[in-house]
Amino acid sequence: MRDFDYIRPATIPDAIAAAAEPGSAYLAGGTNLLDLMKGGITSPERVVDISRLPELNRIERLDDGGVRIGALVRNANLAYDPEFAKSYPAVAEALLSGASAQLRNAATVGGNLLQR
């Protein structure tokens, strides 16, 4: 694994600005990015750690009946959320089928969307 800059922004706007630089990658749960880096498959020049931005760790019910899922919500937390599982049973079941319990507890929804 080659050297890279590590940045832990304090706000969402700072995270967006830091990741806008070419060669940047977001880090949250790390279950995918770190494996790819260790294997030499990807080599970001800058890793932007968003794991401590609390605004991104929420499941919010919207007035129109929809749901807003933060990028840092763990797959297990989303799958086991009673209201979410009732409203979106196929998604909850897919999350529970997609990986081991250990990975579901670490992997984030945003990380799943950003996988290669």
Instruction: Say what the pTM is.
Output: 0.81
Helix (H, G, I), strand (E, B), or coil: what is residue 51? Answer: coil
Nearest to 47 by CA among 60, 58, 32: 32
Are 67 and 100 spatial neighbours (Cβ–Cβ below 8 Å)? no
**108 contacts 73 by C-beta, under 8 angstroms:** yes
The amino acid at 90: A
Q: What is the pLDDT of residue 7?
A: 95
Percent of the chain clearing pLDDT 70 (strictly above): 98
* Domains of the chain by residue range: 5-114
The fold adopted by the segment(s) 5-114 is 3.30.43
pLDDT at residue 85 greater than cutoff 80: yes
**Which are the contacts of 102, defined by CB distance < 8 A and separation ≥ 6?**
none
- 71/110 Cα distance (integer angstroms): 4
pLDDT in tens, 15-65: 999 999 999 999 987 778 888 888 889 899 999 999 999 899 999 999 998
- Tokens 């529970």 belong to 96
Give mean pLDDT, residues 68-78.
95
